[in-house]
Amino acid sequence: MDERELEAALEACEREPVHIPGAIQPHGALVAMDERLQEVRQVSANLESLLGVSPEDALVMTPEQLFTRRWFNQIHTQLDSPNRYGALIMSLRIRGRAQRFSLLPYRSGSRVVAELEPISGYPERWLFGAMADWQKDLSGYTTRDGLLRALTALVRELAGYDRVMIYRFDEDWNGSVVAESLAEGADSYLGHHFPASDIPEQVRRLYSIKRVRDIPDATAQSVPLVPASAPVDDSPLDLSRGILRAVAPIHVSYLANMGVVASMSIALHLNRRLWGLLACHGKSPNILSPALRDALRAMVQTACFQLELIQAREEAALIQRANDSREMLVDQRGEFSDWGEIVARHGTAWLKVFHAGGLVLLAGDRVATVGNVPGADSIAAIVDWLGKHHSGELAWSSRELGRTGLAEFCEPVRAAGLLAVPLPIRSPRDAWLLFFRPEKSETRIWAGNPDKAIDRQSGRLSPRQSFESWKETVRGKSALWLPVERRAATDLASDLAVLIAAGEISRLNQRLERLATSDHLTGLWNRYRMEEAIDHEISVAERYGRPCALAMFDIDHFKHFNDTWGHEAGDEVLAEVARTVSTQLRDTDHVGRWGGEEFMVLATNTAPEGAAHLAERLRAAIAALEIRDYGRVTASFGLAVHQAGEQRRELVKRADLALYAAKEGGRNRVEVSND
């Protein structure tokens, strides 16, 4: 296949207008109206079989005549309600008999769409019990694998599919099956990978608009809209928010080649990003009731909340390991006459925390190393490359150095991944903390050969004919650098910068002196200076019996600001929160940046009740912030009041545990340590 042909075919695939197919699936009907609900503009060709009204007659009726005044008013109300994309259960008299429908109204550009699905029998009241049991059982799943296995088994039991699997996306949007539940005789795809082009970008976007994609029968003939486009402006009807949208021909072929007739997918969003899909496959048609489909979506959503909690716990464990090392480092800062000793004493522990093979701490012409790292000339070349290709004070990482200009310098030590964090000091000019990871060779099992074929007549991609296991060995990549690892390494680099600056204080100018006590971004005291202040206040408390308290707070969902608007937006949020908190304190209180999005407030001569009022006032001040169009900013607080005989580490730990409890309790709240 010519590379240009493949590129053109991939582009054509990503431009496929899957959201405007001009048709629906036949298990329901559609009515499109003008935005003021005065005219019927388009209907599905099967309208008469479901509503007893021909398309021709419906197009000359008003929506109120078609649906009756009662349901017309319900549709109008539903469109303007906060839950405007929910479905209505309505009853219409069709040919003298009452027929119940699930009606989903939604806005589509300048039109309003009503999708109808017939309902037979009574609502599945047993679903309430199943959902309650699932909600109760959720807290018992403390691992990702255990939770996902339970979810696939529950969905298959309730919905009757032959195969239910969890399909997780990687950083390149390739998918892999990480959990599965099978009926007897169904083929397994557990551990198999699927290329990103199987679910192209425009399809992934649809899962952020409508979380469920239901295809009860991929072999059924789709039903066209009448007329095919809007009679006013000839525009196609966007069905992104609907459930009945017809299946694209390439996807029909894909499912047929896979031996799948019925398919349903539910999006799993973690931290507002598409993390994966719950995919259901059946060898025969499977029309789910709207109530069951909605219940399954709700169960998946609650599972996502638990997944976020599991992920947060895993990240907290890594941060704790890193913080333990940082605390020892700060506690021992007076023992080092040279910062090379720091690497010698702690470097091996840092390699374990960051799952790295080698570490380099570099400041100007001085270099300290531990583990398997490139030679001195190669390190100098790496730093020179970073200086030219990476600006700013944020961490840079790559898991595939073969795609960068650094491969030749890292190849002798077989390093495939690099995490590079600039130390926030201005002199010496080149100061970096570098972690190197070795290659992690991986044998991937693909569900069919992932190489794409082109239909020569259309010039478009052709779905693969076979999904038999196809093995590929992936080389030249390290393990992925996780965001939490980047954050922890950045915090460590800040501590090292302070220690380096403190060790050479006699030769530093006034700017470096400020660095030793201030955070470079917010202008607040840094952790080193805050620890000094806490130690002093504890000494005063022990000597004179004067009370004091610590309030540790953390900006909620801070990663969302970086992921959505970029790191500059995250920096702006940090700076604005710092300014707001500073204006709320007394002259005798102190606030500092503890690390990342964590801050510490030291309230002097403050009893428990006053400390609690202070923390609540700070929380409310942050919640009232409006920063550009970034959305709401909130913070969670952990409060600890000093107890007799308690030293800094114990006091800080209690504040940290209270902060963790505040996040576990729902965030945007104050939790007081009672230990």
Residues with a known catalytic role? 597
List residues bridging with 171 in a β-sheet.
none
Three-class SS of 589-633: CEEEEEECCEEEEEEECCCHHHHHHHHHHHHHHHHCCECCCCCEC
Query: Under 8 Å CB-to-CB from 13, ≥6 apart: which residues?
Result: 197, 200, 250, 460, 461
**How far is 289 from 296, CA to CA, in rounded Å?**
11
Instruction: Please identify which residue in the block is written with the tokens 């006013």.
Output: 232
Measured between alpha carbons, how far is residue 464 from residues 250, 251, 282 in Å?
Answer: 10, 11, 19
Strands 192-194 and 431-438: unpaired
Q: How many residues does the chain have?
A: 675
List the 40-44 sheet strands across, edge first. Answer: 23-24, 223-226, 40-44, 29-34, 111-119, 97-108, 88-94
547 class by beta-carbon count within 10 Å (0-12 exposed, 13-18 middle, 19+ buried)? middle
List the 670-672 sheet strands across, edge first. Answer: 590-595, 598-604, 548-555, 635-641, 670-672
163 class by beta-carbon count within 10 Å (0-12 exposed, 13-18 middle, 19+ buried)? buried
**How far is 658 from 231, CA to CA, in rounded Å?**
61
**How far is 247 from 360, CA to CA, in rounded Å?**
54
Q: Which amino acid is at 410?
A: C
Cα end-to-end distance, the chain, whole Å: 68
Q: At what angle do helices 290-331 and 527-544 cross, to 10 degrees?
A: 70
Q: At what angle do helices 290-331 and 144-159 cross, to 10 degrees?
A: 180
Phi/psi at 317 (5° precision): -65, -40
Instruction: Please identify which residue in the block is written with the tokens 């340590």.
Output: 673
93 class by beta-carbon count within 10 Å (0-12 exposed, 13-18 middle, 19+ buried)? exposed
Of 482, 514, 489, the closest CA to residue 501 belongs to 514
Strands (E), 109-157: 111-119
Q: At what angle do helices 290-331 and 126-138 cross, to 10 degrees?
A: 10
> Which string of DSSP letters, residue by residue, matches 290-301?
HHHHHHHHHHHH
> Which string of DSSP letters, residue by residue, matches 207-266?
HHH-SEEEES-TTSPPEEEESSS-TTT-PPPP-TT-S-BPPPHHHHHHHHHHT-SEEEEE
